[in-house]
Amino acid sequence: MLRQNYEKDLQNMRNNVIRMNEVSIEMFEYYTKYFWKPDEWLEEKLLKMTTQQDSLEDEIEKLATRIITLQQPVSKETREILCAVRIAVSLKKICDHVADISEYASVCQDRIQRDSEEFGVLKQMSEKALTMIQGAYEAYKTRDYAKAVLTAKMDDEIDYIFRKIRDKIEEEEPQNRASLCSMMLANHIERICDHAANICEEIVYLENYELIRLNPKSSSKS
């Protein structure tokens, strides 16, 4: 019976991490709809999903504590528990950044025109960020080491785009509000990609016993 409970808790923990991944993807997809076309229903949806992420993270931490305290797991299972908790933290941070972006809708939506360069760059970043979140999700669900590494490498593309936006804004007049809005949004998207890369690091550690920093710059950021 104890072993059955042990296996059940481990599987529940894995399922909760997978569900957090799925909610993160859904939230980012909703963000793209909400930001460019503010809607009260979507705002409420994002709030509910944020609450759901909080509950899932809490449940993962409770399961991890119970497994370690009562079952004294072996090496690989201990590693999986620690990775699950750290992945949950990164997923919650992704959720927080999406929520922050949605709050800027009323300020930035009228300042960034759909035919502008800023809109095109943000759209490109958003598409790549969504691909990274989906890649991290698939890599965790299938325990695909190679997928995790390839997904994390996409963060270099995001960093390159972000630096171009930052350099462009530094050359402009400070009253260019469209550019400032773009910078603010791009910064949140860049951080989302950092956390997706961090999740990939955990998958590599889980599957190959390697502590590889695929995204070393993000270790000190939130």
Q: What is the pTM of this model?
A: 0.88
Instruction: Spell out where 97-216 has E strands.
Output: none
Nearest residue to 21 via CA among 143, 134, 103, 113: 134
φ/ψ (deg, to 5) at 201: -60, -40
Please list the pLDDT of the chain residue by residue as tens digits (222 residues).
Answer: 566 788 899 999 999 999 999 999 999 988 877 766 666 777 788 889 999 999 999 999 999 999 888 887 777 888 999 999 999 999 999 999 998 887 776 677 667 777 678 788 888 999 999 999 999 999 999 999 999 999 999 999 999 999 988 888 777 665 566 777 888 889 999 999 999 999 999 999 988 876 666 666 554 456
Nearest residue to 88 via CA among 13, 17, 28: 17
Please return the burial class of 18, using the count of CB atoms within 10 Å of its CB with bins 0-12, 13-18 and 19+: middle
Q: Provide the CATH number for the domain around residue 62.
A: 1.20.58.220
Q: Give the number of domains in the chain.
A: 1
For residue 112, give the DSSP letter: S
- Give me the domain span that covers residue 62: 2-218
| Contact status, residue 46 vs residue 27, Cβ threshold 8 Å | yes
